[in-house]
């Protein structure tokens, strides 16, 4: 190469922003593709094309996790099937559970306030006793 030639690498601008390529976003889109597909089955090659994923490895990472937690199962080498709950299924049950949990959290927060107050009282009592002992060491 001649000394006056530009030896720097050309900047590669990614097609998508980094946040759009995160596993979280890809997983959300992957699950959406699965739930929208007929019979809940999806060919992974189609998913790679639809999600414009540069590396198939990312799709395999997603499918391995979803299979591990019991939301999908592999039908063949390149096909998976959704076996988790569908959107809207058990909605009322989940809404009721959410109300129960929020109520439980509120009760626990109130209990925490009571316990914090009692802790402060005990700490103050201990402080008062130790100060009294210093004032009157020979009583």
Q: Where are the domains of the chain?
A: 18-82, 90-139
Pairwise CA distance, residues 67 & 61, whole Å: 10
Strand partners, 72: 82
Size of the chain, expressed as the number of residues it contains = 139
Q: Is CATH 1.10.645.10 what the domain over 18-82 is classified as, yes or no?
A: no
Mean pLDDT estimate for the chain: 81
Which of 87-91, 116-120, 133-137 shows the lowest per-residue confidence on average (mean pLDDT)? 87-91
Q: Flag whether pLDDT at 73 surpasses 70.
A: yes
Pairwise CA distance, residues 71 & 85, whole Å: 8
> Nearest-CA neighbor of 73 among 82, 60, 86, 61?
82
Q: What is the pLDDT of residue 116?
A: 97
Q: For the whole prediction, is pTM greater than 0.75?
A: no
């Amino acid at each position: 190469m001649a000394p006056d030639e530009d030896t720097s690498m050309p900047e590669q601008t990614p097609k998508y922003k980094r946040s759009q390529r995160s596993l979280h976003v890809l997983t959300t889109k992957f699950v959406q593709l699965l739930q929208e597909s007929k019979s809940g089955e999806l060919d992974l090659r189609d998913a790679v094309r639809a999600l414009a994923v540069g590396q198939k490895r990312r799709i395999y990472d997603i499918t391995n996790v979803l299979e591990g937690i019991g939301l999908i199962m592999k039908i063949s080498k390149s096909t998976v099937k959704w076996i988790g709950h569908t959107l809207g299924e058990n909605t009322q049950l989940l809404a009721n559970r959410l109300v129960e949990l929020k109520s439980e959290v509120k009760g626990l927060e109130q209990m925490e306030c009571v316990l914090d107050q009692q802790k402060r009282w005990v700490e103050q009592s201990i402080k008062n006793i130790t100060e009294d002992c210093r004032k009157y060491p020979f009583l």
